[in-house]
Structure 1
Amino acid sequence: MLLIYNDPAAMKRLPQEEQDKLMVDVGGLMEELKANHELVGGDALAEAPQTRTVRVVDGAVATTDGPFVEVKEHLAGYIIVDVSSLERAIEIASRWPDAHFGAMEVRPVVDSISID
């Protein structure tokens, strides 16, 4: 799984043509992954203000607004790929535009949960 981290405020400060180029770059990479049958799935996530963090403290449910860490970068989305090696996953992550402005985390998926 490729976890996409970015700073939405920094992205919004980019000139529109740079924002447009980033979307074209993402589109090209997605087409490559589809053509190579490496794309399993993925989605963008809602912005951090729509996030709720839930903890159970001493048996009581505590819900707070926003992500659980106070950082500028937040988890913006994810891509699940089925690739032959860790090196290929790292190569894809390094080409993702957010790697240049935020970070990409490469993490193996250990197990799937089926919801019926």
Structure 2
Amino acid sequence: MKYLMLIYGNEEVWNSTDAEQFGKLVGEVDAFNAALRGSGELVESRGLEPRPRAVRVVGDAPVVTDGPYLEAKEHVGSYFVVDVDSEERALEIARSYPALRYGRGLGGGLEVWPLMAPGGDDR
């Protein structure tokens, strides 16, 4: 089953982190991704550009605005998708995400979402 991992963080914290610590974090995440790629479990991993758009219906028409649509200090900064045998394995991977161990909010948080298979079957 495939799971989407949404990685949250705070851009102000990221921008205020010294280059050495941030570089160390990036290296650990790259090694994490390489290990999952080597095991065949990593489907995709990407960072997100910092200019999202939100589309909402206002009146009877869809309106595009600068997003994200929620007021929050943290936002989704990247994601990855894994294909694993169980939810337990997906959660094990999520708990081992390197950025979660960094202080000062640098690591943010991570959400785990099961993905539906084509045709709507979630298995």
Contact kept in structure 2, 1:4 and 1:98, CA below 8 Å = no
Deviations 1:16-68 (A, max 9, x none): 11101111111111111011110111211111xx1111111221222221201
Whole-Å Cα distance in 2 between the matches of residues 67 and 31 of structure 1? Answer: 30
Contact kept in structure 2, 1:53 and 1:68, CA below 8 Å = yes
Contact kept in structure 1, 2:29 and 2:99, CA below 8 Å = no
Contact kept in structure 2, 1:93 and 1:99, CA below 8 Å = no
1:82 aligns with 2:83: yes
Amino acid at match of 2:11: P
1:103 aligns with 2:116: no
Partner of 1:32: 35
Shift of residue 112 of structure 1?
4.3
CA RMSD of aligned residues (A): 1.6
Structure 1 stretch 23-32 or stretch 61-70: which is displaced more?
A: 61-70
1:70 aligns with 2:76: no
Structure 1 stretch 91-100 or stretch 67-76: which is displaced more?
A: 91-100
Partner of 1:23: 26
Whole-Å Cα distance in 1 between the matches of residues 32 and 59 of structure 2? Answer: 46
Point out the structure with the larger helix share: 1
Identity in percent:
38
Structure 1: stretches of 5+ with no match in the other structure: none
Shift of residue 75 of structure 1?
1.0
Question: When the two structures are superposed, what TM-score results if normalisation uses the length of structure 1?
Answer: 0.86
Structure 2: stretches of 5+ with no match in the other structure: 102-106
Amino acid at match of 2:57: V
Amino acid at match of 2:61: A
